[in-house]
Amino acid sequence: MMCTPMKRCFVFIWLCISSCLLCDNEKFVDKEMIIQIGDPILRKSARALSHDEILSPDIQNLIERMKATMRAAPGVGLAATQIGRSVQLAVIEDIDHRHLNAQQLADRNRYPVPFHVIINPHIYIEEGSHTIEFFEGCLSIPAFLGVVPRAESVRVECLNERAEPVVIQAKGWYARILQHEIDHLNGTLYIDRTILPTLMTEESYVKLWQGKSVQEIQASLIFNDS
Ligand SMILES: [Zn+2]
């Protein structure tokens, strides 16, 4: 996916956004094509990985290719299913926020998340967690956006790339990324959870809604005929 100057001005709401400036760091690693909606692999539950598999050259190489692919896209998360491997593994990184102002960062509760790997994740919604509605996009469904309700706070129990157990506590945008990527590993796409009247093209978003709040956009798109 190309990251054009035009795109960079409006995809601040895009879940899968990072920075093209990161692309050059990975030029010696093969990148993968990102599988697009319609391919059945995106709808299958991925299988768990064993300890030995995680440490194998095959999976370690897969992690490096996924890192390069995510950064080149650019994105903040990528599931193995999106590059054709039906295994419970995703990579996440959300560190470049130069396209967001302080208010936008606060609205999303978005904070820097360094590169890491989640394997065989189990996700739990924290007690008392609110539901937050915000726009999401997906590298496997290009050029569309939609409002998705997500839990504000989650806990994830998983393994890292060394097959060590890890517990992640996440809030805000990071919690949203985790929910989006773990959904991928279970065959669920964000459009399955989108408030459907809010599904739109990026072009429509820029033309009609840029700068407006999610609440305002929903009020303009959702009509009750009763
Ligand atoms: Zn996605």
Q: Ligand 1 center to residue 183 CA distance, Å?
A: 9
Report if residue 4 sits inside a domain: no
Torsion sign across C-alpha atoms 8, 12, 14, 20: positive
Instruction: Identify the helix (H) or strand (E) that includes residue 217.
Output: helix 214-221
Report if residue 25 sits inside a domain: no
Report if residue 191 sits inside a domain: yes
181 is catalytic: yes
Q: Is the separation of the CB atoms in 205 and 145 below 8 Å?
A: yes
Report if residue 28 sits inside a domain: no
Which domain covers residue 131, as residue numbers? 11-19+33-221
| Active-site hit among 93, 136, 161, 181 | 181
Q: Ligand 1 center to residue 78 CA distance, Å?
A: 7
Report if residue 83 sits inside a domain: yes
- pLDDT computed for residue 31 by the predictor: 66
Report if residue 26 sits inside a domain: no
Question: What CATH number does the domain containing 102 carry?
Answer: 3.90.45.10
Report if residue 181 sits inside a domain: yes
Structure tokens given for 105 = 């960062």
Report if residue 6 sits inside a domain: no
Q: Ligand 1 center to residue 81 CA distance, Å?
A: 10
Q: How far apart are the C-alpha atoms of 111 and 165, rounded to whole Å? A: 23
Q: pTM above the 0.75 mark?
A: yes
Q: Is the separation of the CB atoms in 30 and 69 below 8 Å?
A: no
- pLDDT computed for residue 101 by the predictor: 86
Per-residue pLDDT of the chain (226 residues; tens, 9 = 90+): 333 333 333 333 444 433 323 333 444 566 679 999 999 999 999 999 999 999 999 999 999 999 999 999 999 999 999 999 999 999 999 998 888 888 889 888 999 999 999 999 999 999 999 999 999 999 999 999 999 999 999 999 999 999 999 999 999 999 999 999 999 999 999 999 999 999 999 999 999 998 899 999 999 999 876 5
Residue indicated by tokens 């709401």: 13
Q: What is the tally of structural domains in the chain?
A: 1
